C-alpha cells in the first residue's frame, strides 16, 4: 500500500466525518462530480466540443439539435439531485488504495453517467410517473428523446476509456474495457428478469432469484465502481475480486432499502423520497418485501396482494391494504434485516485488504450508511 500524503479529498473527508457524517461528505463532493461530468457532457454543446469529443463530422453536426436531444434531458435529470454515491465511493476507494483521486476524477463520472442512463431508460420501461420528485423524463421530453439520451449514456464511458486521460497502460485500459462490457451485459440480464416479472404480474419468484436480479441490475453498476477503482490503481486480482464483492453486496442492500423506503414513505415514515404513494405496488413490482409477505401471509391475504400487484390500475384502497399487509407480516423488518446482513457481509469481504489508514473506517462504514438511511 502506498503511503500517500493526505490529498484534498482527505481534508474534505476529515471535515465531514464523523461530525457531519457521510451525508455531508456526499454533499461536498456532488459539485465536484458534476463539474467533472460537465467536462464530459457540457450543459451547452457547441461544434468545438462535438469535434473534440466525438471526432470531426463527415459533413456537419447540428449542435443545436444535439443540445436539445441529448444535453438538455441529461442535465434535467442530473439537476434533480441524486446522491452521487457511486462516484464518491469510487473516489473513496481510489484514496483507500493509496492513490490521489484527482488523478482519476474523470473515471469517477463513469458509474454516475451509467446510472443516469439506466434510470432514464428504466422509467420508460416501467411507465414511471415520478423520478426524484418530478415527472419522469419521458413525460417531459417524450419517449424518443428520453430513450436516445439514456442509451447514449451507456456508450460515453467507452469514449472516456479510449481517451485514457490518466495514461493507463494498454493492459489496464483493456482490463477496464473488458470489465465494463462484462458488467453492463449482466446489468441487462437483471433488467430482463425484472421486466419479465413485471409484465407477467406474477410474484412466483424465489428470494434467491430476486437477490440475483438485484445483484445484476443494481449490483453490477456498483461492481463497476469497485473494479474500476482497483484496475486504474493497479491492484492485484484478489483485491479486485474482494472489492467487487464489497460493492455488489452494499448495492443490493441499498436496493432493498430503496424498496423499504417506498413503503415507509407511503406509511408517512420516510423522508423526502420523491416517489408517488405506493409506487412499487402500483407498478406490480416484485420486491423482497412482497416475496416475504406472500410466503408468510394467510392464503386469502396473499391472493389479495397478488391481485393488487396484477391489476393495471389498482385503486388507493387496494394499494393501502397491500402496504398494510407488508407491515403486518413483518416484511418491512425482514427486508431491513437482510439489507443489514448484506452490509455486514460487504465489510467482511474487505477484511483482508490493506487499506490506507486514513480511509479504512470510512470504507467499512459506507455499506451501513447506505442501508440505514431514510431517504
Per-residue pLDDT at 367: 95
pTM for the model stands at 0.90
Least Cα distance to 301 among 331, 277, 278, 279 occurs for: 331
- Please name the helix (run of DSSP H) or strand (run of DSSP E) that holds residue 46, with its range, or none: none
> What is the 8-class DSSP label of residue 62?
-
Give the confidence band of 66 by pLDDT, cuts at 50, 70, 90.
very high
Mean pLDDT over 339-346 rounds to: 98
- Kindly report the backbone phi and psi dihedral angles of residue 311, in degrees, each rounded to the nearest multiple of 5, phi listed first: -70, 140
Within 10 angstroms of residue 21's Cβ, the number of other Cβ atoms is 12
Per-residue pLDDT at 11: 57
Q: Please name the residue that has the C-alpha cell 435529470.
A: 77
Three-state secondary structure call for residue 44: coil
**Between the ranges 299-313, 314-328, 338-352, where is the mean pLDDT highest?**
338-352
Of residues 277 and 179, more confidently modeled: 179
DSSP secondary structure letters along 286-337: --HHHHHHHHHS-HHHHHHHHHHHH-SS--HHHHHHHHHHHHHTTHHHHHHH
Judge whether residue 129 has pLDDT over 70. Answer: yes
Per-residue pLDDT at 274: 47
* Tens digit of each residue's pLDDT (9 = 90 or more) over 87-128: 999 999 999 999 999 999 999 999 999 999 999 999 999 888
Mean pLDDT over 40-68 rounds to: 96
* Tens digit of each residue's pLDDT (9 = 90 or more) over 217-229: 999 999 999 999 9
Distance CA 302, CA 204 (A): 12
Give the confidence band of 6 by pLDDT, cuts at 50, 70, 90.
very low
Judge whether residue 14 has pLDDT over 80. Answer: no
* Tens digit of each residue's pLDDT (9 = 90 or more) over 20-32: 567 777 888 889 9
Judge whether residue 1 has pLDDT over 50. Answer: no
Distance CA 107, CA 27 (A): 19
According to CATH, the superfamily of the domain at 8-40+80-371 is: Farnesyl Diphosphate Synthase (1.10.600.10)
Distance CA 262, CA 8 (A): 36
Of residues 139 and 264, more confidently modeled: 139
Summary count for the chain: helices (H), strands (E): 19, 2
Question: Burial of 270 by CB count in 10 Å (0-12 exposed, 13-18 middle, 19+ buried)?
Answer: middle
Q: Let me know: does 98 contact 233? Beta carbons within 8 Å.
A: yes
Q: Let me know: does 284 contact 305? Beta carbons within 8 Å.
A: no
Three-state secondary structure call for residue 130: strand
Least Cα distance to 175 among 220, 236, 221 occurs for: 236
Distance CA 179, CA 350 (A): 20
Within 10 angstroms of residue 373's Cβ, the number of other Cβ atoms is 17
Q: How far is CA 211 from CA 8, 207, 263, 331, in A?
A: 37, 6, 19, 15
Give the confidence band of 17 by pLDDT, cuts at 50, 70, 90.
low
Q: Let me know: does 52 contact 74? Beta carbons within 8 Å.
A: no
* Tens digit of each residue's pLDDT (9 = 90 or more) over 152-169: 999 999 999 999 989 999
> What is the 8-class DSSP label of residue 205?
-
Q: What percent of the chain has pLDDT over 90?
A: 75
Per-residue pLDDT at 27: 82
- The sign of the torsion formed by the CA atoms of 351, 355, 358, 363 equals negative
Per-residue pLDDT at 200: 82
Within 10 angstroms of residue 207's Cβ, the number of other Cβ atoms is 12
Q: Where are the beta strands (DSSP E) in the chain?
A: 130-131, 134-135
Which residues sit opposite 135 in a β-bridge? 130
Q: What percent of the chain has pLDDT over 70?
A: 92
Per-residue pLDDT at 265: 81
Report domain extents, the chain. Answer: 8-40+80-371
Q: Please name the residue that has the C-alpha cell 454516475.
A: 112
Distance CA 205, CA 288 (A): 10
* Tens digit of each residue's pLDDT (9 = 90 or more) over 239-283: 999 999 999 999 999 999 999 998 988 776 544 444 567 888 988
Q: Please name the residue that has the C-alpha cell 452521487.
A: 84
Mean pLDDT over 61-65 rounds to: 97
Residue 304 CB contacts under 8 Å (≥ 6 apart), including other chains: 318, 321, 322, 325
Per-residue pLDDT at 271: 47
Mean pLDDT over 5-18 rounds to: 53
Amino acid at each position: 500500500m502506498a503511503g500517500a500524503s493526505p490529498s484534498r479529498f482527505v481534508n474534505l473527508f476529515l471535515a465531514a466525518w464523523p461530525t457531519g457524517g457521510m451525508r455531508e461528505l456526499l454533499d461536498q463532493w456532488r459539485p465536484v462530480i458534476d463539474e467533472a461530468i460537465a467536462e464530459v457532457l457540457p450543459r451547452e454543446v457547441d461544434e468545438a466540443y462535438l469535434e473534440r469529443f466525438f471526432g470531426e463530422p463527415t459533413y456537419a453536426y447540428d449542435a443545436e439539435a444535439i443540445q436539445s436531444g441529448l444535453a438538455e434531458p441529461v442535465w434535467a435529470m442530473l439537476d434533480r439531485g441524486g446522491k452521487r454515491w457511486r462516484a464518491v465511493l469510487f473516489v473513496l476507494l481510489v484514496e483507500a488504495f493509496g492513490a490521489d483521486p484527482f488523478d482519476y476524477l474523470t473515471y469517477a463520472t463513469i458509474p454516475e453517467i451509467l446510472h443516469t442512463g439506466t434510470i432514464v431508460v428504466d422509467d420508460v420501461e416501467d411507465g414511471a410517473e415520478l423520478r426524484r420528485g418530478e415527472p419522469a423524463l419521458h413525460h417531459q421530453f417524450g419517449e424518443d428523446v428520453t430513450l436516445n439520451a439514456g442509451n447514449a449514456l451507456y456508450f460515453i464511458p467507452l469514449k472516456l476509456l479510449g481517451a485514457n486521460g490518466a495514461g493507463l497502460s494498454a493492459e489496464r485500459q483493456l482490463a477496464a474495457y473488458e470489465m465494463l462490457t462484462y458488467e453492463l451485459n449482466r446489468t441487462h440480464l437483471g433488467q430482463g428478469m425484472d421486466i419479465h416479472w413485471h409484465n407477467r404480474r406474477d410474484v412466483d419468484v424465489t428470494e434467491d432469484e430476486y437477490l440475483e436480479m438485484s445483484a445484476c441490475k443494481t449490483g453490477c453498476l456498483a461492481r463497476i465502481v469497485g473494479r474500476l477503482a482497483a484496475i486504474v490503481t493497479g491492484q492485484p486480482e484478489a483485491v479486485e475480486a474482494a472489492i467487487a464483492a464489497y460493492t455488489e453486496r452494499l448495492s443490493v442492500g441499498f436496493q432493498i432499502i430503496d424498496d423499504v423506503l417506498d413503503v415507509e414513505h407511503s406509511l408517512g415514515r420516510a423522508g423526502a423520497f420523491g416517489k408517488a404513494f405506493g409506487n412499487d405496488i402500483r407498478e406490480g413490482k416484485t420486491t423482497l418485501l412482497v416475496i416475504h409477505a406472500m410466503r408468510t401471509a394467510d392464503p386469502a391475504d396473499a391472493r389479495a396482494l397478488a391481485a393488487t400487484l396484477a391489476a393495471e390500475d389498482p385503486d388507493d384502497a387496494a394499494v393501502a391494504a397491500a402496504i398494510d399487509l407488508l407491515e403486518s407480516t413483518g416484511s418491512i423488518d425482514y427486508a431491513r434485516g437482510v439489507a443489514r446482513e448484506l452490509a455486514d457481509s460487504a465489510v467482511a469481504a474487505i477484511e483482508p485488504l490493506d487499506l490506507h489508514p486514513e480511509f479504512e473506517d470510512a470504507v467499512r462504514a459506507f455499506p451501513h450508511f447506505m442501508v440505514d438511511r431514510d431517504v
